[in-house]
Structure formats: structure tokens, C-alpha cells
Amino acid sequence: MSRTIALLGLLTLAGCETTTSGGAVGADRSQLMLVSSGELDQMAAQSYAKLLADAAHAGKLNRDAAMLKRVRAVASRIEPQTAVFRRDAPAWKWEVNVLADPQLNAFCMPGGKIAFYAGLIDQLHLSDSEIAIVMGHEISHALREHSREQASQAIAAQATIGIGAALLGLGQGSADLAGTGYQALLATRFSRTDEAEADRMGLELAARAGYDPHAGVTLWQKMIAANGGAHQPEFLSSHPADENRVREIEALLPAVMPLYQAAR
Ligand SMILES: [Zn+2]
């Protein structure tokens, strides 16, 4: 019983916070955070370095100079805009690379480690604005530290099963924590709440960077069309593309169009 109380106290102390300020789209939901940003960023940097090394070894890293230039140009316009949600973010150690891989996929790991798979751009014939929508969305997962939140929730859930074990891990900040976080990072399956937040924030980031937010509608319509085949693209298994998503993006256009017009 005393352990339960101690754990609850610890949870409350480590507690709830919001990683971002609201911006025009209201992204300031309170989040449970039990792992430090530093731990997650370190894991992400190591995972990303391994991914790049593996890709280079396979001859798949940044093969298309023109595509790399396009993707990096979009990133360089979006990165400064992240300040609207987090003042520390523009100074992150951003990295942007393109993998010569037919998958429809893209991600931004904690701390700003971005990868685009060429298949996403090639097969969906993405415009720069549509690239900006995907990038804004993925960057928003990192700004909101959704992976860190996931890791924290996993730890909290484990705590209800084995309080003693969890307390040991929490108290020592040990390899157990790192292991849980690493798993959450690799098996990234964001919640619908996370997805909606990333859509809203990404739309605002793209608009502020001077990209037409209407591309959010065309992007997801292309995703819906791509979803029809026998193989579900990796990106779509974690990012359900449906008419509902398109409608929610359309409903946000009046809030973000003035930002786009001001940025042009
Ligand atoms: Zn997402």
C-alpha cells in the first residue's frame, strides 16, 4: 500500500506538462511524461545514425540529388516556424535525408531527425506544398514529443501490473526505462489524438512557411487513392487515410489560410 502511494506521488511529481504552446490551432493538451527528453533524443540520434549507416551501406542514402535538395529546402523553411509551438525547437540538431526506397513513408524522430522515402514523393507525385504537409505533420509528432508520451504511458501501464518492478525502474532511471522508451520509439504507432494534433500543427507549420494548406486536402486524397491496392503502405498503417481526416483538415483551413497569406 505504501508503495502504491509512493508510486502515485512519483507519477504526480513527474507529472503532467505540455510540450508545446497552443499556436493558432490549440495544441496544448496536458501530457503524462515519465521519461526525459534527453533520454529519448539520445535513443533517436542513435537509431537515426544506424538507419543512415545501413542505408549508405545498401547504396540507398540520398541517391537523388534533386529530390534531396527539394526536401531539404522545404525543411529549411519549416524549421524556423517551429518556434510558434516551441521556442527551443529551431535550435535542435535537425537532420534531413532521403532514402532511395519505394515505400510510402516518412518520419521525424524525437529531436528533429527526418527521413523521407523516395517512394512517397515519386509514387504520389507530391508537390512541394504536399511535401511540406507531410513534413509539418511528422515534425509535429517530434515537437509534441508523442514518442516520449507513449513511452511514459507504457511505463505507467506496466506500473499497474508490477508496481514494485516499475518503482525500481523509475527510481533508478535505469536501463529498464531506456528499453521501454526504445521499444516505443521503434514501434511508433501514434494514437488518434496524436494524429489529430500532428495534422493541426503540421497544417499551421506549412502555412507559416508559405505553403498552401489546401495541399493537406490533396495530399490525403492521394493517400486514400493509394490505399486501394493489395499492399497497405507502411505510412498508412500508422496514419489512417479516410474522408474524416480530409474533412477535419478542410475545417481548419479558415484558421490557417491567413497565416499562409501573411507568409507569402
Ligand atoms: Zn502521424
The 10s digit of each residue's pLDDT in 136-172 is 999 999 999 888 787 777 777 765 443 334 434 444 4
CA of 108 to the centre of ligand 1 (A): 10
pLDDT of residue 160: 45
Examine the residue annotation and report whether 79 is marked as an active-site residue of this protein. Answer: no
For ligand 1, a single-atom ion, the residues with CB < 5 A are 195, 198, 239
pLDDT band at 120 (very low <50, low <70, confident <90, very high): very high
Q: Phi and psi at residue 106, in whole multiples of 5°?
A: -165, 150
pTM for this entry: 0.82
- Per-residue pLDDT at 32 exceeds 90: no
- Asked if residues 234 and 105 have their Cβ atoms less than 8 Å apart, the reply is yes
CA angle 254, 248, 122 (to 5 degrees): 100
Nearest alpha carbon to residue 208 among 147, 129, 148: 129
Cα(154)–Cα(150) distance, rounded to whole angstroms? Answer: 6
Higher pLDDT, 117 or 160: 117
Q: What is the pLDDT of residues 202-216, one digit of tens each?
A: 999 999 999 999 999
Per the residue annotation, which of 138, 145, 195, 197 is the catalytic one? 138
- Per-residue pLDDT at 182 exceeds 60: no
- Per-residue pLDDT at 121 exceeds 80: yes
CA of 167 to the centre of ligand 1 (A): 31
